[in-house]
């Protein structure tokens, strides 16, 4: 075997090693991406838990939020502040989920859930008032998505039907199904 042949053999081995390294790096990046995706899914789901647990820990805030669900415009400023905090937080979660979905860090189902969490507030009488007043204060992407969802998704119940802690003991806040049942009874 000549030196030239030995040189070519070592070059082939080197190229093979480089290709093997690139494949290994690609596989590792895919694994890292999947781990990051799982972590982001878990984190965003934990944010929803924090969103719903905060008002329970502060009865006055829960009472203020309840008042604004019916009438945001007619509520006191302190009531509006608590309501705006929780609703804006849910909108921010939906916006984060929107961008995470577009980069593949969360799946479509998680995004729909985060969007739904915001919509639960926005379909209430007070939520509609709040949204009309503050919709320009959120990013254009999430504003467009929420506006589209509010127009298209007729399956979204008001928040008190999903989370009874937000329910008021007022007839006006019953769902359309409850109203129909009462009318037929």
Residue with the larger pLDDT of the pair 45 and 147 = 147
Mean pLDDT of 145-163: 91
Q: What is the pTM of this model?
A: 0.68
Mean pLDDT of 36-48: 72
pLDDT at residue 170 above 90? no
Which of the four pLDDT bands, split at 50, 70 and 90, describes residue 185? Answer: very low
> Which string of b and e fits 91-129 if b means at least 16 CB within 10 Å?
bbbbbbbbebbeeebbeeebbbbbbbbbbbbbbbbbbeb
Weakest mean pLDDT among 39-43, 74-78, 153-157: 39-43
Task: Using a pLDDT cut of 70, give the percent of the chain over it.
Answer: 85
Mean pLDDT of 45-72: 80
Q: What local confidence, expressed as pLDDT, does residue 175 receive?
A: 46
Under 8 Å between Cβ of 41 and 72:
no
Under 8 Å between Cβ of 165 and 62:
yes
Alpha-carbon gap, residue 125 to 128, rounded angstroms: 5
Give the model confidence (pLDDT) of 59-107 as tens digits.
788 889 999 999 999 999 989 999 999 999 999 989 988 988 888 877 8
Q: Which of 103, 68, 104 is nearest to 83 (CA)?
A: 68
Q: What local confidence, expressed as pLDDT, does residue 111 receive?
A: 87
Residue with the larger pLDDT of the pair 30 and 146 = 146
Give the model confidence (pLDDT) of 100-146 as tens digits.
888 887 788 888 888 998 999 999 999 999 999 999 989 899 999 99
Mean pLDDT over each residue of the chain, to the nearest integer: 84
Residue 76's CB: how many other CB atoms inside 10 A?
Answer: 10
Under 8 Å between Cβ of 159 and 151:
no
Q: Which of 20, 154, 134, 116 is nearest to 72 (CA)?
A: 134
pLDDT at residue 181 above 60? no
Q: What local confidence, expressed as pLDDT, does residue 165 receive?
A: 85
Under 8 Å between Cβ of 120 and 159:
yes
DSSP one-letter string for 128-172:
HHHHHHHGGGS-HHHHHHHHHHHHH-TTPPPHHHH-GGG--S-GG
The phi, psi pair for 49, rounded to 5°, reads -60, -40
């Amino acid at each position: 075997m000549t030196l030239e042949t030995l040189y070519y053999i070592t070059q082939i081995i080197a190229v093979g090693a480089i290709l093997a390294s690139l494949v290994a790096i690609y596989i590792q990046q895919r694994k890292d991406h999947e781990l990051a995706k799982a972590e982001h899914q878990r984190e965003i789901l934990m944010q929803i838990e924090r969103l719903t647990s905060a008002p329970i820990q502060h009865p006055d805030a829960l009472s203020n939020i309840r008042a604004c669900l019916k009438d945001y415009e007619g509520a006191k400023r302190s009531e509006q502040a608590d309501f705006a905090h929780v609703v804006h937080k849910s909108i921010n979660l939906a916006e984060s989920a929107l961008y995470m979905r577009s980069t593949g860090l969360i799946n479509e189902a998680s995004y729909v859930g985060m969007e739904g969490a915001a919509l639960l507030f926005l379909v209430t009488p007070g939520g509609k008032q709040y949204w009309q007043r503050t919709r320009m204060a959120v990013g254009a992407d999430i504003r467009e998505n929420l506006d589209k969802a509010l127009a298209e998704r007729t399956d979204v119940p008001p928040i008190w039907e999903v989370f009874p802690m937000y329910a008021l003991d007022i007839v006006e806040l019953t769902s359309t199904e409850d109203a129909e049942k009462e009318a037929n009874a």
